[in-house]
Amino acid sequence: MKLFLDTANQAEVEEAVKMGVISGVTTNPSLVAKEGGDYLERVTYFCNLVGGPISVEVLSTDAAGMLQEARELAKLHENIVIKLPITAESLGVIKQLREEGIKTNATLCFSANQAILAARAGATYVSPFVGRLNDIGQDGMVLIEEIRTIYRNFGYNTEIIVASIRNPRQVTEAALIGADIATIPFKVLQQMLNHPQTDLGIAKFEADWANRK
Ligand code: E4P
C-alpha cells in the first residue's frame, strides 16, 4: 500500500519526504485555508519535491467552472491531480479530463455506489472518507471493503485512497483490506513510527554498550 500525506503544510511534506515513505500528497480547501500564502506556488513545490501525485481540489460546483479550473491547475505541473467531489456535475468532467489525459481524484466518497460512479466516469483515484463516516456512527472500513470487492469483481483500475484517517490502526486496517493508498495526516505518520518498546530498546542497548567490559 502506498502512503500519501494529507496536508498543505510545507514543513510536514519536507519532513515526510526526508523519511522516504510518502509517494504523494492530498490537499483540500480546508487544509489549504489553514496555511495561507500562495497555495499554487506551494503545490507546485510539492510536485517537484515529492515527485508523485499532488491532489488539488476545484472550488467550482458547476461543470463548466470545474473544467476551467481543472485545466488551469493541470498546467502547473504534470504531477497535479484534480480533486472533485462526486456530484452530478463532476462525473462528466471526470470523463472529459480523462480523455484529455488529466488525472482526477473523486473525493467526498461516502458510499459504494458513489465509488462505482467514479470508476465508471474514469477517475484515476477515489477517496472514501472513513473518519467522517465513523463520526456519524458508521463503520468507515466496511465501505473500504465494499469498494475493494466491487473494484476487484469488475477490474476497475481506479485506485482507492483511504481518506479522513484519524489514527494509526486505520492505516493497518486499510492495508489488510488491500486499499491501494492511505492518505494520512502528519500526526498519524508519527504515530505509525513510534513504539515505546523501540525507545526502551534503544536506551537499553546504549546503556549496555556504555557499560561494556
Ligand atoms: C482527503 O483527501 C481529505 O483531504 C481528508 O482526508 C479529509 O480528512 P478529515 O475528514 O479529517 O478532514
Cβ proximity of 84 and 103 under 8 Å:
no
Please say if 83 is a catalytic residue: yes
Q: For ligand 1, pick from 5, 34, 39, 129 the residue to mutate: most ligand atoms within 8 Å of CB.
A: 129
Q: How high does pLDDT run on average in the chain?
A: 97
Cβ proximity of 34 and 212 under 8 Å:
no
Length of the chain measured in residues: 213
Q: Is the CB of 105 under 6 A from ligand 1?
A: no
- pLDDT tens digit sequence for 107-121: 999 999 999 999 999
- 29 alpha carbon to ligand 1 midpoint, in Å? 10
Between strands 2-6 and 181-184, the pairing is parallel
- pLDDT tens digit sequence for 118-137: 999 999 999 999 999 999 99
Q: For ligand 1, pick from 28, 109, 126, 133 the residue to mutate: most ligand atoms within 8 Å of CB.
A: 28
Percent of the chain topping pLDDT 90: 99
Q: How far apart are CA 87 and CA 97, in angstroms?
A: 15
Cβ proximity of 126 and 106 under 8 Å:
yes
Please report the pLDDT score of residue 36 as a whole number: 86
- pLDDT tens digit sequence for 155-194: 999 999 999 999 999 999 999 999 999 999 999 999 999 9
CA-based torsion, 139, 140, 146, 148: positive or negative: negative
Mean pLDDT of 47-55: 98
Percent of the chain topping pLDDT 70: 100
Cell triple for residue 187?
A: 500526526
Radius of gyration for the chain, computed over Cα atoms and rounded to the nearest angstrom: 19
Cβ proximity of 82 and 97 under 8 Å:
yes
- pLDDT tens digit sequence for 88-100: 999 999 999 999 9
pTM (2 d.p.): 0.96
